[in-house]
């Protein structure tokens, strides 16, 4: 009997690992396609990012094909990023660990959650966004999972679990909304004075533009999260629309610029250049996708996980930010996505939440 149980246990462990690898393969599809507004269903098979050739099934085996093909496309020989293999391996390992750590009903729900978290993390790191398919879709999935498995909300009543899940999602969204709006009021602008007049160029391409100040090059749309955001450029000289301006302030909105009492539409200009002495940059505490992502975390893990994810995510982000500064990446346009750190905080809570609560209680009642 004992041997049979051991065999069944190992079989289910292998199943969890293989299933995680297969899910990881689909997560890779989401990571690549969702930010590009491509369907995750069409084409149904994966394709090479370089030559767009669809990959046959025998060259798309999770955890097997990438090392077998030495990380290259079999058709064109282009290099395939290591991220594809890493996501499959990470998902497989998390599926296995979750299966061994939790009852099977909770494990299945957590499988769906970690798939969402991994997709959000890699997309946010690369594109600084978290698509609504993951955040809003994940929140709905969390509500459904909590209703089907009320133990996720530490109750045995489905209606109670649904209400707790919905309230936790609302708390997560509201808390980060307060942080976002409060941060905008206090830290909504960053002013940088240059030691000497610094050359700048604004050059339009399509619906966006490149904005270069000294050695810093940024995408114009990166500066404007809200319609009323304004970027101020204090200039000793500026040239645009075949006109010269001296000792002036260029007051930029995303689609227009004001000089004194004159307004110019940016879509009618090709280039603005000159010398700047000071710049005031609009900035956000975080992206609005993070609000919806924390709602998703709350829907799956509850309100305590929301609080912990905010605290732990801020701690993780601060540590990485300090490391980035130490490594010499101190630039005024540097962005750090917050979603991955929220995700790391949520995963930490998922495995160690009870231990954290007990430790905190010993501090209150030694």
User: Each residue of 171-221: pLDDT tens digit?
Assistant: 999 998 998 888 777 777 888 899 899 999 999 988 899 999 988 888 898
At 254-291, the pLDDT tens digits run 999 999 889 999 989 999 999 999 999 988 777 788 99
Find all residues with CB under 8 Å of 166, minimum gap 6, and list them.
Answer: 143, 299
Measured CA to CA in angstroms, residue 343 lies from 182, 298, 366 at distances of 22, 11, 31
CA distance 26 to 21: 9
Q: Is residue 119 part of a domain?
A: no
Regarding whether 302 and 180 lie in a shared domain, the answer is yes
Q: Tokens 């270069």 map to which residue?
A: 212
Helices vs strands, H then E, count in the chain: 9, 8
Q: Are residues 30 and 79 in the same domain?
A: yes
Same domain, 164 and 311: yes
Domain membership of residue 48 (yes or no) is yes
159-180 pLDDT per residue, tens? 999 999 999 999 999 998 998 8
User: Which residues in the chain come in under a pLDDT of 70?
Assistant: 1-2, 328-335, 366
Residues 255 and 329 in one domain: no
> Per the domain annotation, does 114 fall within a domain?
no
Cα–Cα distance between 63 and 337 in angstroms, integer? 28
Around 338, how many Cα atoms within 13 Å sit in the side-chain half-sphere? Answer: 21
pLDDT score at 215? 85
Give residue 51's domain range. Answer: 1-101
Q: What is the pLDDT of residue 319?
A: 86
- On whether residue 294 sits in a domain, the answer given is yes
The span from the CA of 291 to the CA of 63, in Å, is: 33
CA 12 to chain centre: 32
β-bridge partners, 234: 249, 278
Number of folded domains that form the chain: 3
pTM of the model: 0.85
């Amino acid at each position: 009997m004992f041997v049979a149980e051991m065999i069944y246990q190992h079989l289910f462990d292998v199943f969890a690992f293989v299933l995680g690898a297969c899910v990881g393969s689909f997560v890779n599809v989401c990571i690549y396609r969702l930010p590009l507004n491509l369907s995750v269903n069409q084409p149904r098979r994966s394709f090479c990012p370089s030559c767009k050739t669809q990959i046959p099934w025998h060259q798309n085996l999770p955890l097997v094909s990438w090392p077998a093909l030495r990380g290259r496309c079999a058709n064109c020989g282009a290099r395939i990023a290591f991220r594809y293999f890493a996501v499959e391996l990470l998902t497989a390992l998390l599926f296995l660990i979750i299966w061994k750590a939790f009852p099977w009903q909770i494990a299945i729900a957590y499988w769906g959650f970690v798939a969402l978290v991994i997709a959000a993390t890699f997309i946010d790191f690369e594109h600084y966004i978290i698509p609504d398919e993951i955040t809003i879709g994940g929140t709905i999935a969390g509500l459904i999972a909590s209703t089907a498995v009320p133990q996720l909300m530490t109750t045995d009543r489905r209606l109670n679990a649904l209400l707790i899940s919905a309230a936790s999602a609302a708390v997560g969204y509201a808390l980060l909304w307060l942080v976002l709006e409060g941060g905008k009021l206090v830290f909504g602008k960053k002013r940088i004075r240059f030691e000497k007049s610094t050359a700048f160029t604004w050059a339009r391409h399509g619906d966006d533009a490149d904005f270069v100040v000294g050695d810093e090059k940024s995408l114009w749309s990166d500066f404007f999260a809200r319609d009323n955001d304004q970027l101020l450029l204090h200039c000793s000289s500026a040239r645009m629309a075949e006109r010269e301006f001296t000792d002036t302030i260029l007051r930029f909105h995303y689609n227009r610029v004001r000089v004194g009492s004159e307004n110019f539409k940016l879509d009618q200009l090709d280039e603005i250049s000159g010398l700047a002495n000071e710049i005031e940059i609009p900035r956000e505490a975080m992206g609005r996708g993070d609000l919806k992502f924390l709602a998703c975390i709350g829907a799956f893990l509850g309100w305590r996980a929301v609080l912990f994810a905010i605290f732990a995510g801020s701690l993780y982000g601060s540590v990485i930010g300090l490391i980035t500064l130490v490594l010499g990446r101190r630039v005024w346009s540097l962005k750090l996505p917050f979603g991955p750190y929220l995700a790391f905080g949520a995963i930490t809570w998922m495995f160690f939440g009870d231990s954290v609560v007990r430790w905190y209680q010993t501090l209150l009642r030694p």
